[in-house]
Structure 1
């Protein structure tokens, strides 16, 4: 789960695994696999960093690196 800020300043915690698409138009728009969309204050780059940190915390990044090394 990662925390984001809506345009009105309220904090929201979302499941990073359900993010399908991130767009900057110029506000950052997140499209979820559930069909929900939300506009947030954080930039796409900040959001991607938070997603990567979350994936590392739950072991997804390490698993994918190990998997890629195993395939070679």
Structure 2
């Protein structure tokens, strides 16, 4: 789960696995796999970093350093 901020300042938690698309128009719009759209105050790059960190935390993405450490 990642914490994001709506345009009105309300903080909410989103299951990052449900994200299908992230766009800036200039507001960051997140499209979920069910078609629902969320507009957030966070910048696209920030959301991408939060998603990447979440995926690493739950083991969906392994970093290159982790791969190298396991092969030693």
Consecutive unaligned residues of structure 2, counting only runs of 5 or more, are 68-72
TM-score between the two structures when normalised by the length of structure 2? 0.84
Q: Hey, what's the Cα distance between the residues in 1 that align with 2:11 and 2:35?
A: 20
1:11 corresponding residue in structure 2:
11
1:32 corresponding residue in structure 2:
32
Q: Alpha-carbon deviations, 1:10-64, whole Å to 9, x = none?
A: 011011011001010000000000111010000100000000000010011129x
TM-score between the two structures when normalised by the length of structure 1? 0.84
Count of residues in Structure 1 that have an aligned counterpart in Structure 2: 65
Flag the structure with higher helix content. 1
| Residue aligned with 2:45, SS | helix
| Residue aligned with 1:60, SS | coil
List structure 1 runs of 4+ shifted beyond 4 angstroms: none
1:46 corresponding residue in structure 2:
46
